[in-house]
């Protein structure tokens, strides 16, 4: 069975710490980007999300958002992650995710460059 609570590290050195899941599957925690993302400039940032009921499926889907904390910056950034937790052949838990980063745009005409 795959549960998100605990500490996770990505291939690129990002670290995610997830609190215990609530009865409704909700969770919170923190996310720190790795060196490839300029992690030394970005503080651990709060995350909130929800996981599908792991009692219903052994490899549940999940989603969470990160509200980035950038020291000395007025830039507003949010990333949404969507993924699934898998149990590998050796019993290890593996997360696969897709993500979108959104920065605040100055105007509707600047909207095209605000999402990566």
pLDDT score recorded for residue 104: 86
Alpha-helix runs per DSSP H in the chain: none
pLDDT digit string (tens) for 31-41? 998 776 554 56
pLDDT at 71 over 90: no
For domain 6-110, the CATH superfamily is Avidin-like (2.40.128.30)
Highest mean pLDDT out of 1-5, 19-23, 51-55: 19-23
In sequence order, what are the beta bridge partners of 62? Answer: 51, 83
What distance in Å separates the CA atoms of residue 39 and residue 13, rounded to the nearest whole number? 9
pLDDT digit string (tens) for 73-110? 666 789 999 999 999 999 999 999 999 989 888 899 99
Report the chain's terminal Cα–Cα distance, integer Å: 32
Spell out the domain ranges in the chain.
6-110
pTM to 2 decimal places: 0.83
Closest CA relative to residue 49, chosen from 92, 83, 9? 83
Q: Are the beta carbons of 18 and 76 closer than 8 angstroms?
A: no
pLDDT score recorded for residue 74: 65
Q: Are the beta carbons of 25 and 9 closer than 8 angstroms?
A: no
């Amino acid at each position: 069975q795959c549960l998100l609570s605990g500490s996770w590290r990505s291939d690129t050195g990002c670290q995610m710490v997830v609190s215990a899941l609530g009865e409704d599957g909700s969770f919170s925690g923190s996310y720190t980007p790795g060196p490839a993302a300029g992690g030394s400039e970005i503080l651990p940032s709060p995350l909130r999300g929800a996981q599908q009921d792991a009692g219903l499926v052994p490899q549940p889907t999940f989603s969470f958002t990160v509200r980035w904390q950038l020291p000395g910056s007025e830039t507003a950034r949010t990333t949404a992650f969507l993924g699934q937790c898998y149990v590998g052949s050796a019993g290890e838990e593996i997360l696969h995710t897709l993500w979108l980063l959104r920065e605040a745009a100055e105007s509707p005409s600047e909207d095209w460059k605000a999402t990566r």
